[in-house]
Chain A
Amino acid sequence: MTIDTEAYPKLAELWDRLRRGAHIHSGDGADYFELRDRYPEYQAVFALFGHQLIEHPGKFYFLEGKMNDGARPAGIANILALSFVLIDIANNSGAGFDQWFFPPSGSARRLSEIKPFNLQQHREVLVSANIKDETRIELTLKNMTRLGFIEFDGDAITFLPPFLRIRDLCIQIGSMDTTQLDSLAEADVSTSGDTNESDNGE
């Protein structure tokens, strides 16, 4: 198979975004529609070189990445910690996942309202993930913005369709029994390394 680069004028640009972990959704305009309209072609192109382009039912696209020894995705552990806490806040409010994260009105959540993290358990989780102060929280939210999970303007947090991957992950974890969970606890990842990477950013 040949790759006619003229037939894929957006290939380099899409590759640049996707390889950095970006999730491309309808809000991304032309990039999204290019992938949507030519998904099988792009899927084949990326597959040639060993990457899988995923089309999520939530209508967004991302590259399924691989973790190599010595390389870690920047800030994923911190993102997971903060996301788990936010989901627990939603659960405690009695609101469903969609209702809290994707309200019909489209309104954003305010960091200033969430930030007190009143529950001791939430504070413990954030401290375990080395999210110890406001700077770290904002850095984590910026990483989530970079990956396309949210839009964040300093206070307003708008959750985007790619955040559904976190929901999928929670459902997957929630359905595991103790044995399966224990098998995941291999070679624990130190979050201090992740924090350094997220400090460096892109």
Chain B
Amino acid sequence: MPTRRISIKEFAHFATRHSEVLEALFERASEEFTFPVLVRIAESTWQEGNPSAETIARNLVDMRIVEATDHTGSTFRYSPAIADLQRHLALTPDPVSARSILANVSDLADTNANIRRAIEIGDGGLALRAHEDLRRLCTNILRGVAENFRFVMNEVLDLKKASASITLRDRYARLDYSWTRYADPLRVMLLADGDFSQRMSAAENLIKRACESGLFPNRDQPESLRRYISIVLQSTNLAIVDCVRTVQPLLERLREDSMVAAGAAVGMAQFTKCGAIPSGIIKLLPVAFSAERDCFADAELDQTLRAILTIRPAPPPVIPDVHGGRTAGADAAFVAEAIESLSTAGEVPDLLAHLLNKHPDRTAYDCLCVFHHLTKPSSGFSPTFGPLAEFDFSDAIVTSSRLSISKQ
């Protein structure tokens, strides 16, 4: 089956959504499956809201979560690398899932509604029950957040101490998986969402109002709960800020290093697949190259002419024999035009403009090189080029308003 390159991030998101499928595959890590069997495994863990079992099975193949065990791609096995990852996670106690913590936060709204109702109807019993629910929810949230962030921080410490046997890409995959599953949902809840803070603040105020309404026989109880709510709110915020500050830079650095490693791996694969690297990849690293084939490999070419830059190394032009002998291809036409231009005895910029209009593929540098050569006494051309020979090429000035400077 054709596969596309899947980023590690996409894999982590898939793993978070379909952890049950991965757990089912993990238990059968030593087996080989056909595609229909993969579909049945996906069906056995299917939940409402998931894509179809066949789609999930296809994703497993595309993401190389399962690897083909033969050339025909008719049988698969659970990727050993991913099985190792799961084995590692299984050795560490699984913290309370982020989903259940979010469910507790969601329940805050119902508890607040109950306290509000208790205040409205003056029901002390309802107020006391809501009070207990609120304390339980706060404890669950505090413990759950602490466990999740501690788990991720321990993962960071483990990876920092890990031996060289774990590649950068595997380190990134592990940390990204942990972050995505255990910490990021809570980060969103606590920092980005706003509901958690609002509900906790609302709960604190409602308890205060219920207490002022005399719904609690003992004022110490609600006061203690209000302080507890405030502590839970502060502690969870501190925990997430600390976790983000520690983990995100490391995650970003690992992500970038992993991308570099992935790119190098792709590059190496292209070499071994094609026997050479595709020119398309070489073109991604444009490097200027020596314009060794200058217009003239002329030792007398002075420094000023070098300062008039050329872009493209032109093939060496051939000066036609003045006795009408040999010529050499297209270059002869250019040189012939240059001779004709010089015969007009105009100023240098006009001569350049005339020649460049006829040969827009040439540069000002090319033209000046030809002129310089032709005006040398050794060139053997007509002394009518004499005035040009007095032209000071060492102080050559290129005026773009008067010249059509050809570009490549």
- Please give the number of chain B residues whose Cβ is less than 8 angstroms from any Cβ of chain A in the complex: 70
Pick from A2, A12, A129, A186: contact of B306, CB below 8 A.
A12
- Please give the number of chain A residues whose Cβ is less than 8 angstroms from any Cβ of chain B in the complex: 79
Q: Indicate if the CB atoms of B261 and A87 lie closer than 8 Å.
A: yes
Q: Which single residue of chain B is at the shortest CB-CB distance from A67? A: B283
Q: Indicate if the CB atoms of A91 and B264 lie closer than 8 Å.
A: yes
Query: A135 at interface (Cβ–Cβ under 8 A)?
Result: no
A82 CB to nearest B CB, Å: 11
B11 CB to nearest A CB, Å: 14
Best-surrounded residue of A16, A72, A80, A167 (most CB of chain B within 10 A): A80
| Cα distance, A2 to B312, chains bound together (Å) | 21
Query: A68 at interface (Cβ–Cβ under 8 A)?
Result: yes
Query: B345 at interface (Cβ–Cβ under 8 A)?
Result: no
Query: B378 at interface (Cβ–Cβ under 8 A)?
Result: no
| Cα distance, A189 to B279, chains bound together (Å) | 5
Q: Indicate if the CB atoms of A5 and B304 lie closer than 8 Å.
A: yes
How would residues 142 to 155 of chain A score, 1 for a CB under 8 Å from any chain B CB and 0 otherwise?
Answer: 00000100000000
From 1 to 44 in chain A, residues with beta carbon under 8 angstroms from any chain B beta carbon are 1-3, 5, 8, 11-12, 15-16, 18-21
* Among listed B68-76, B140-148, B287-295, interface-contacting one: B287-295
B88 CB to nearest A CB, Å: 15
Pick from A8, A18, A64: contact of B286, CB below 8 A.
A64
What residues of B have a CB within 8 angstroms of the CB of A181 in the complex? 5, 266, 270
What residues of B have a CB within 8 angstroms of the CB of A87 in the complex? 260-261, 264
Query: B188 at interface (Cβ–Cβ under 8 A)?
Result: no
Query: A58 at interface (Cβ–Cβ under 8 A)?
Result: no
What residues of B have a CB within 8 angstroms of the CB of A67 in the complex? 282-283, 286, 289
What residues of A have a CB within 8 angstroms of the CB of B303 in the complex? 12
A interface SS class: helix
What residues of A have a CB within 8 angstroms of the CB of B262 in the complex? 170, 174
What residues of B have a CB within 8 angstroms of the CB of A62 in the complex? 287-288
How would residues 258 to 277 of chain B score, 1 for a CB under 8 Å from any chain A CB and 0 otherwise?
Answer: 01111111111011101111
From 161 to 180 in chain B, residues with beta carbon under 8 angstroms from any chain A beta carbon are 162-169, 171
Query: B407 at interface (Cβ–Cβ under 8 A)?
Result: yes
From 57 to 97 in chain A, residues with beta carbon under 8 angstroms from any chain B beta carbon are 62-68, 71-74, 76-77, 80-81, 83-85, 87-88, 90-97
| Cα distance, A190 to B312, chains bound together (Å) | 22
Query: B308 at interface (Cβ–Cβ under 8 A)?
Result: yes
What residues of B have a CB within 8 angstroms of the CB of A97 in the complex? 256-257, 260
Best-surrounded residue of B263, B264, B304 (most CB of chain A within 10 A): B264
Q: Which single residue of chain B is at the shortest CB-CB distance from A193? A: B276
Q: Indicate if the CB atoms of A170 and B282 lie closer than 8 Å.
A: no
Q: Which single residue of chain A is at the shortest CB-CB distance from B275? A: A128
| Cα distance, A67 to B181, chains bound together (Å) | 47
Query: B125 at interface (Cβ–Cβ under 8 A)?
Result: no
Given the contacts A20-B289, A74-B289, A129 and B405 also touching, CB distance less than 8 Å: no
Q: Indicate if the CB atoms of B278 and A167 lie closer than 8 Å.
A: no
B300 CB to nearest A CB, Å: 15
Pick from B260, B311, B398, B400: contact of A167, CB below 8 A.
B260
What residues of A have a CB within 8 angstroms of the CB of B165 in the complex? 94
Given the contacts A18-B288, A81-B271, A49 and B311 also touching, CB distance less than 8 Å: yes
Q: Indicate if the CB atoms of A46 and B309 lie closer than 8 Å.
A: yes
Q: Which single residue of chain B is at the shortest CB-CB distance from A54? A: B286
Q: Which single residue of chain A is at the shortest CB-CB distance from B256? A: A171
What residues of B have a CB within 8 angstroms of the CB of A76 in the complex? 282, 285, 287
Q: Indicate if the CB atoms of B277 and A77 lie closer than 8 Å.
A: yes
Q: Which residues of A contact B (CB under 8 A)?
A: 1-3, 5, 8, 11-12, 15-16, 18-21, 45-46, 48-51, 62-68, 71-74, 76-77, 80-81, 83-85, 87-88, 90-97, 121-122, 124-125, 128-129, 147, 165-167, 169-179, 181, 183-191, 202
